[in-house]
Amino acid sequence: MKVLITGAAGFLGSHLCERFLKEGHQVIGMDNFITGDGKNLAHLILDWNFSFIRHDVSNYIFVPEKIDAVLHFASPASPNPLSPYGYTNLPIQTMKAGALGTHNALGVAKANNARFLLASTSEIYGMPLEHPQKETYPGNVDTIGIRAVYDEAKRFAESLTMAYYRFHGVDTRIVRIFNTFGPRMHLDDGRVVPNFIQQALRQEPLTVYGDGKQTRSFCYVDDLIEGIYRLLLSEEHLPVNIGNPIENTMIELAEEVNRLTENPAGLIFKEDMRVGDDPQQRRPDITRAKEILGWEPKVNLEEGLIRTIPYFKQEMNKNG
């Protein structure tokens, strides 16, 4: 196949480019570098099957070649207001990537009679009243909350994708991505895994907000990419959760990071600074992924951290 991947220079986009090239496909990467980083793609530049277009997906997309699949991954994704890459600091760009960007990417798929895969998110479930979250759960959302610029952009993107499937017959897929970590995350991404690893490598106490009992399920990036790849090749049009169903508290995560980095500094508890409508719990029900895709995560939290920590150590050394 010849595939167009938007957001190609981002954390997930770059891993997707790598996977499709490994499988023998041709890849056209697209990014405007608002949150993506060119170094994530540097190792692919000499691959004859890879090409790159610098472009903002919020503007009309023109690709002069026949495309077989479009994967729309362009969007800021970090919820942390202290990160320059956080969507609360890029609110308009985030909404445009989810709305105009999805519309333009769907237009490319329609014009080429190509498959389309939307990167959606567990954030569409909002503050869930159902746990774990099934794809049938409609969510408990705040349309004007601080996180709404991301959540509502993705909810609109899902609705638009299904409209193109039902009205135009575009061959669409929707993946709802739960917390994912691994190499190529920004050092100042602001999410908990990068924060903990960097504090631990500096031999500092890990900062846990609130009582540390809030939970997340952490999926290693290779597992996520495998699920996305299988979904694109499937015939499923309704949303599919991809994530790790094993929950960990923030305390458990912090203690595991300290153990693996041999950090003796322990933990420090501070006033809860989570963004307003940040949920206390989030965990995917992956029954549909198992049944439809034959997929479930293989890499546990310990192994994922072992693979991730050296990347952060290397990047921190580069930055002094």
Give the whole-number percent of the chain exceeding pLDDT 90: 87
Residue 170's pLDDT is 98
Given the residues 150, 165, 220, 229, the one annotated as active site: 150
For all residues of the chain together, what is the average pLDDT? 95
Question: Is the pLDDT at 188 greater than 90, yes or no?
Answer: no
Average pLDDT over residues 203-229: 95
At 251-269, the pLDDT tens digits run 999 999 999 999 999 999 9
At 82-127, the pLDDT tens digits run 888 889 999 999 999 999 999 999 999 999 999 999 999 999 999 9
Question: Is the pLDDT at 281 greater than 80, yes or no?
Answer: no
Residue 318's pLDDT is 87
Question: Is the pLDDT at 277 greater than 70, yes or no?
Answer: no
Question: Is the pLDDT at 276 greater than 60, yes or no?
Answer: no
Residue 24's pLDDT is 98
Residue 301's pLDDT is 97
Question: Is the pLDDT at 137 greater than 90, yes or no?
Answer: yes
Question: Is the pLDDT at 142 greater than 80, yes or no?
Answer: yes
Is residue 164 part of the annotated active site? The answer reads no
C-alpha 289/C-alpha 278 separation (Å) is: 25
Q: How confident is the model at residue 273 (pLDDT cuts 50, 70, 90)?
A: low
Average pLDDT over residues 180-192: 92
Domains and CATH numbers, the chain: 2-185+219-245+281-298 (3.40.50.720)
